[in-house]
Amino acid sequence: MGIQRVGVVGFGQMGSGIAQICAQAGFDTLVREVDQSLVDKGFQRVDGSLARLIRSGRLSEDDAKAARGRLRGTISLGAFEDRDLIIEAIVEEIGPKKKLFAELDTICPPATIFCSNTSSLTIVEMAAATRRPDRFAGMHFFNPPVIMKLVEIVKAITTSDETVATLREFVGKLGKTGVVCKDTTGFIVNRLMVPYLLGAIRMLELGVATKEDIDNAVKLGLGYPMGPFELIDYTGVDINYHVANVFFDEFKEPYMAPPPLLRRMFLAGQLGTKTGKGFYEYDDQGKRKS
Ligand SMILES: NC(=O)c1ccc[n+]([C@@H]2O[C@H](COP(=O)([O-])OP(=O)(O)OC[C@H]3O[C@@H](n4cnc5c(N)ncnc54)[C@H](O)[C@@H]3O)[C@@H](O)[C@H]2O)c1
């Protein structure tokens, strides 16, 4: 019968985009937040995004209205009892995620598939908190989910082939391209990107080139939209430092360890655009000054 009713847990930055694309693709979609004000905030985000799609001619008013009609919010987890698929997009901490899935396991029917949108945690650790580790996988969307075309489908050592096949089909119906990968830190995209970013910092530490020249070389030579230092400042020095530590813990490869400069910038509170200084300096609007 396949997936018809989707439950999204967490209506934040990622959850709102994921819920929106599920509703746009025709799925009956229910989103859960911890309180009503956050449900309302999530709907504001979705409404803003739908309005932008209409303005740019990528979505008709009728289709936007129909999508909005398929999307409902709740603060009750019990309302997820009729869902075929759950996509979790709450805080990036293993404790709350395990607790949530253990609770959902008692609410949802055995056939319901559980997915986590985690960027860095291990899928099988969450799967083991449920009695359905074969119907548990990672479904990693990219930010913003409404625009980005890729979804990494993460197969834990317990995930069944049938679950992966169902998720591939579901991701296709969302209009995205699904790629399947193993449950190892970074999946595919971050496994390639994190060592590259850390390598750029080491290159700067060694004095191979200035940060401006490394950024320009990557943009003009590789065709990337942002240079590594622009990207680290944008995503946050703290996030990149945390991610490097997660990678090093998993693989123990020296090239995945946080370089000394990254650690010092983190300790100094030079976190990038959000603090006004990272590799570059920024004004109050986050516009680059230097
Ligand atoms: N931001 C990104 O670029 C990005 C990209 C890919 C994956 N992710 C992953 O997506 C997940 C969510 O990230 P985000 O950036 O959307 O975070 P966010 O802080 O914007 O949203 C998380 C939301 O979850 C809610 N929440 C917390 N516990 C809850 C619960 N038990 N039930 C319902 N709601 C709950 C919070 O109130 C918050 O609104 C994380 O696992 C993150 O690693 C993030």
- Does residue 212 have a pLDDT over 90? yes
Determine the residue of 86, 91, 141, 185 to mutate for testing ligand 1's pocket, defined as the one with the most ligand atoms within 8 A of the Cβ atom: 91
119 ligand 1 Cβ < 6 A: yes
Q: What would the mean pLDDT of 191-209 be, rounded to a whole number?
A: 98
Q: What is the pLDDT of residues 55-84, one digit of tens each?
A: 999 999 999 999 999 999 999 999 999 999
* Alpha-helical runs (H) found in 206-252: 211-222, 228-235, 237-251
Pocket test for ligand 1, best of 8, 9, 11, 14 (most atoms within 8 A of CB): 14
Q: Which domains does the chain have, with CATH numbers?
A: 5-182 (3.40.50.720), 190-268 (1.10.1040.10)
Say what the pLDDT of residue 286 is: 86
Q: Which residue bears the tokens 């995205």? A: 176
Mean of the pLDDT values across residues 241-270?
A: 96
List C-alpha distances in Å: 84 to 19, 52, 129, 154, 279.
14, 30, 19, 18, 45
Percent of the chain exceeding pLDDT 90 equals 97
The stretch 233-256 carries a mean pLDDT of 95
pLDDT for 2 equals: 87
Confidence at residue 1, expressed as pLDDT on a 0 to 100 scale:
63
Span 4-13, mean pLDDT?
Answer: 97
pTM to 2 decimals? 0.93
Buried b (16+ CB within 10 A) or exposed e, 90-102: beeeeeebbebbe
Q: Which residue, by CA, sits nearest to atom 21 of ligand 1? A: 12
